[in-house]
């Protein structure tokens, strides 16, 4: 239920809650209920500087970077347990702030906790190489060290889940961090400060500032004492993070947008593909970088399959996010609502056929859009190549695998894709030629902590999750160890002259 009074939050700096130095605050209204659900300290440049200073001190002089992998793992595992214990309240906060269905939010808390579990295992498996073939007097060691202070900026669509794709891996490597969540959904990330303190993370290792991209995000991205930035959000904002980072050439890891195709071949299990097609566009109201917003259907089954997609999408429950039966909740903001409706109008004007939806829904006091399906879409249309971030599906047809691959690769994005076929040769050959970081075959949007995630092209750089994730937060160092007597350069020169 909606709380009688909004939840109250402060900044988390140096292991304690503190107000912003200006005393400024901002609030958040539920996108479904039009009621204030949270009030937050508004960080300014001086607050971000204080958070960075705390993280710098904790890295340069604190115990965390030098703690053993086992010690770090113990804290991360405890954090995972605390997230599970507080699942109900965390899920409620995310539902109220984001508009997502409460049942989905609960699942996300479990997924987030699982990422902390997995990162804990990696903290005990950070290793390099030894080279003993350099000659009898030389041993070469290559070791991994934590990169330093990491700035983390996260989006509004999966607040706790996405920070959990970054923060525990940085901590496992021995880094210290400053986190800035989206101003639309900062609640669960701010609550994470107390959770990590209870889990045993030392003061200053994790600092959390709530505020706006300008100035808080910009200051974090450009600050010379930040050694790395990890950002998830739109491609356009990702480019500004790169520009801001140039002052000290900090490392940048980006997980950005997507325009992800699901390719349906005629021989596929069409019942399974049908469910995935509707799930792919309705999950999280389509506000998902992995959203299956393009459906590429082989022409011989196209008309029938699209009809079935429309009929199933028509049955999806749109409504109050606090209702356990709701599958599609509210759109996160007025700006995002206007963007989605603008693309729907654009699709109509471009000549695509509106097969379902396209209208706002009058539910509660919020912003809701019914699942929307366009067919007769061509690859050049904006709705076929630009990220909409809403429950809008564009259906295109193809005849041959080559055509499907060409259409799939025709956008600036390369985050993920789905391939549906019973033919193993088709599955593998198409998967290998699609330029995307993840390709699902006969499934869609499954995720596991063990498997890397990230994109090609303008969908990002670097990878999260999997055993390679730890590498993002480390620097390689070469140590050359000489054994035994060494003939000096000067001595060799004198012998040559003699």
Give me the count of residues in the chain: 498
Query: Residue 290: what are its φ and ψ, rounded to 5°?
Result: -90, 5
Please state, in angstroms and rounded to a whole number, the distance separating the CA atoms of residues 492 and 498: 10
Please state, in angstroms and rounded to a whole number, the distance separating the CA atoms of residues 261 and 455: 14
Sign of CA dihedral 38, 39, 45, 50: negative
Cα–Cα nearest to 349, from 385, 313, 374: 374
Cα–Cα nearest to 368, from 335, 418, 315, 331: 331
DSSP conformation class of 201:
P
- CA distances to 148, 156, 351, 379, 406 from 397, rounded to whole Å, are 49, 33, 15, 10, 12
Residue among 10, 108, 255, 458 flagged as catalytic: 255
Query: Residue 58: what are its φ and ψ, rounded to 5°?
Result: -65, -30
Clarify whether 289 is annotated catalytic: yes
Residue among 175, 177, 288, 289 flagged as catalytic: 289
Clarify whether 198 is annotated catalytic: no
- 358-382 residues labelled b (16+ CB within 10 A) or e (exposed): beeeebbebbbbbbbbbbbbebebe
Sign of CA dihedral 26, 32, 34, 35: negative
DSSP 370-415: --EEEES--TTSHHHHS---SSEEEEEEESSHHHHHHHHT-SSEES
Please state, in angstroms and rounded to a whole number, the distance separating the CA atoms of residues 352 and 290: 23
Please state, in angstroms and rounded to a whole number, the distance separating the CA atoms of residues 201 and 18: 18
User: Alpha helix locations (H) across 123-234?
Assistant: 159-163, 167-173, 187-199, 218-222
**Residue where the block lists tokens 């069409």:** 270
Tell me which residues are annotated as active site: 255, 289
């Amino acid at each position: 239920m909606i709380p009688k009074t909004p939840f109250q939050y402060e900044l988390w700096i140096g292991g304690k809650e503190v107000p912003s130095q200006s005393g400024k605050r901002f609030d958040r209204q539920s996108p479904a209920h039009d009621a204030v659900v949270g009030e937050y300290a508004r960080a300014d440049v001086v607050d971000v500087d204080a958070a960075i200073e705390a993280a710098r001190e904790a890295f340069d002089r604190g115990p965390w970077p030098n703690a053993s992998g086992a010690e770090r793992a113990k804290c991360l595992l405890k954090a995972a347990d605390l997230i599970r214990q507080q699942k109900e309240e965390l899920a409620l906060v995310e539902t109220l702030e984001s508009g997502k269905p409460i049942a989905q939010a609960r699942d996300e808390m479990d997924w987030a906790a699982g990422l902390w579990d997995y990162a804990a295992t990696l903290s005990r498996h950070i290793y390099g190489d030894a080279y003993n073939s350099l000659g009898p007097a030389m041993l070469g060691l290559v070791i991994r060290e934590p990169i330093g202070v990491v700035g983390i900026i996260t989006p509004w669509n999966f607040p706790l889940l996405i920070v959990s794709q970054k923060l525990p891996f940085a901590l496992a490597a021995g880094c210290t961090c400053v986190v800035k969540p989206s101003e639309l959904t900062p609640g669960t990330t701010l609550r994470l400060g107390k959770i990590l303190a209870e889990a045993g993370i030392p003061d200053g290792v994790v600092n959390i500032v709530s505020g706006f991209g300008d100035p808080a995000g910009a200051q974090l991205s450009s600050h010379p004492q930040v050694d790395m930035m990890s950002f998830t959000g739109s491609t356009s904002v990702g480019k500004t993070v790169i520009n801001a980072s140039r002052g000290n050439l900090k490392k940048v890891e980006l997980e950005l947008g997507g325009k992800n195709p699901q390719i349906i071949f005629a021989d596929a299990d069409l019942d399974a593909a049908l469910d995935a097609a509707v799930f792919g566009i309705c999950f999280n109201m389509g506000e998902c970088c992995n959203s299956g917003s393009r459906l590429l259907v082989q022409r011989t089954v196209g008309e029938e399959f699209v009809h079935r997609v429309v009929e199933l999408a028509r049955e999806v429950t749109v409504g109050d996010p606090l209702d356990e039966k709701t599958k599609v909740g509210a759109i996160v903001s007025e700006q995002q609502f206007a963007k989605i409706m603008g693309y729907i109008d654009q699709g109509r004007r471009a000549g695509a056929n509106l097969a379902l939806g396209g209208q706002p829904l009058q539910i509660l006091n919020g912003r809701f859009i019914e699942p929307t399906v366009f067919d007769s879409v061509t690859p050049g249309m904006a709705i076929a190549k630009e990220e909409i971030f809403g429950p809008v599906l564009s259906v295109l047809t193809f005849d041959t695998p080559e055509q499907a691959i060409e259409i799939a690769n025709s956008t600036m994005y390369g985050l993920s894709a789905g391939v549906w076929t019973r033919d193993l040769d088709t599955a593998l050959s198409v998967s290998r030629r699609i330029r995307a970081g993840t390709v699902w075959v006969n499934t869609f949007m499954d995720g596991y902590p063990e498997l890397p995630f990230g994109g090609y092209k303008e969908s990002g750089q670097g990878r999260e999750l999997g055993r390679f994730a730890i590498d993002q937060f480390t620097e390689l160092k070469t140590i050359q160890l000489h054994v035994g007597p060494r003939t000096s350069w000067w001595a060799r020169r004198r012998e040559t002259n003699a």
